[in-house]
């Protein structure tokens, strides 16, 4: 009789573990080097001080954060996993951990994170894509992303003069693939509940190629210095946004 109970208990535990394994979701961090391939980037990567971009991969979508100048609009967007940002090179994939949250719960967490990371609040040194990655990983797995992802930004905060000019003064116009989690006219669609968060993920428009910083093109063509300055995307401290760190916006 005791043997039968033991066998039944073991079967029940195995069944429970099997059920859990079917519902857990991998949380992966993709890391990209923003410096051109070469000796300098190799050395900085080796010592853990590279200029990096990162995104969080969840169920076939890579979520990242970028800047723009539209107040009240999230800077969080998604792309196909492994899509390299402008000027970036894929470096590595990190298995951050797992979440046992349902899809609706995951969507709600991502949605809340997107509300916390407004695109106009982006700052190259103090609130960048790696800060978002750490925040989202904390919410999903209970552990923030690796601290070394933002080591270069930390150095830049302490010693602003060491931030490379090429990184903070990129070309004025670039293209990137991605889709914001919301647009200006989508605000009323979202409610802070699991069910509506799951619904919002299905309402995302198909991924398209967006032209970044296109809104200032007419001003630049006018030939005035003021117009040219107006068309340059900048972070919350007035630094020019790197092409790799600009959130994709619809050209409307």
- Give me the pLDDT at residue 153, please: 77
Residue 161 makes CB contacts below 8 A (sequence gap 6+) with none
168 has a pLDDT exceeding 80: no
Can you spell out the DSSP letters for the chain? -HHHHHHHHHHHHHHHHHHHHHH-EEEEEEEEE-SPSSHHHHHHHHHT---EEEEEEETTEEEEE-B-S-TTSB-EEEE-TT-PPTT-EEEEEEEEEEE---HHHHHHHHHHHHHHSBGGG-BTTTBSHHHHHHHHHHHHHSSPPPGGGGHHHHHHHH-GGGS-HHHHS--S-EEEEEEES--GGGGGG--SSHHHHHHHHHTPPPPEEEEETGGGHHHHHT--HHHHHHTS-B-TTSPBPPGGGBPP----
The pLDDT-based confidence of 175 (bands split at 50, 70, 90) is very low
What mean pLDDT comes out for the span 200-218?
36
Tally of residues, the chain: 252
- Give me the pLDDT at residue 133, please: 98
> Please, what is the Cα angle at 154 between 175 and 38, to 5 degrees?
55
The pLDDT tens digits for 49-99 are 788 999 999 999 999 999 999 999 999 999 999 999 988 999 999 999 999
Query: What integer best gives the mean pLDDT of the chain?
Result: 74
The pLDDT-based confidence of 236 (bands split at 50, 70, 90) is confident
Is residue 53 annotated as part of the catalytic site, yes or no? yes
Which of 68, 129, 131, 135 is catalytic? The answer is 129
Residue 37 per-residue DSSP state:
S
Contact criterion met (CB below 8 Å) for 231 and 69: no
The more confident residue out of 26 and 15 is 26
The pLDDT tens digits for 98-142 are 999 999 999 999 999 999 999 999 998 899 999 999 999 999 999
Which of 53, 68, 131, 135 is catalytic? The answer is 53
The region that residue 147 occupies, defined by phi over 0 for left and psi between -120 and 50 for alpha, beta otherwise, is alpha
228 has a pLDDT exceeding 80: no
The pLDDT-based confidence of 148 (bands split at 50, 70, 90) is very high
Instruction: Retrieve residue 70's tokens.
Output: 């539209």
The pLDDT tens digits for 31-48 are 999 888 888 888 888 888
15 has a pLDDT exceeding 90: no
């Amino acid at each position: 009789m005791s043997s039968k109970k033991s066998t039944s208990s073991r079967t029940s535990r195995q069944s429970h573990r099997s059920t859990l394994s079917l519902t857990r979701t991998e949380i992966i961090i993709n890391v990209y080097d923003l410096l051109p391939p070469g000796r300098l980037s190799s050395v900085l990567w080796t010592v853990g001080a590279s200029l990096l971009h990162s995104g969080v991969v969840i169920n076939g979508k890579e979520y990242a954060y970028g800047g723009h100048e539209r107040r009240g609009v999230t800077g969080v967007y998604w792309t196909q996993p492994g899509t390299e940002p402008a000027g970036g090179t894929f470096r590595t994939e990190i298995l951050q951990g797992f979440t046992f949250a349902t899809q609706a719960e995951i969507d709600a967490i991502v949605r809340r994170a997107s509300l916390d990371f407004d695109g106009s609040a982006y700052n190259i040194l103090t609130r960048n894509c790696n800060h978002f990655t750490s925040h989202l990983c904390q919410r999903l797995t209970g552990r923030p992303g690796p601290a070394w992802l933002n080591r270069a930004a930390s150095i830049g905060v302490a010693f602003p003069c060491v931030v490379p000019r090429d990184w903070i003064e990129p070309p004025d116009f670039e293209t990137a693939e991605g889709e914001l989690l919301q647009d200006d006219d989508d605000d009323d669609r979202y409610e802070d509940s699991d069910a509506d968060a799951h619904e919002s993920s299905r309402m995302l428009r198909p991924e398209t190629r967006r032209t970044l910083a296109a809104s200032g093109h007419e001003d630049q063509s006018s030939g005035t210095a003021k117009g040219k300055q107006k068309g340059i995307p900048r972070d919350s401290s007035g630094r020019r946004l790197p092409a790799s760190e600009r959130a994709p916006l619809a050209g409307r």
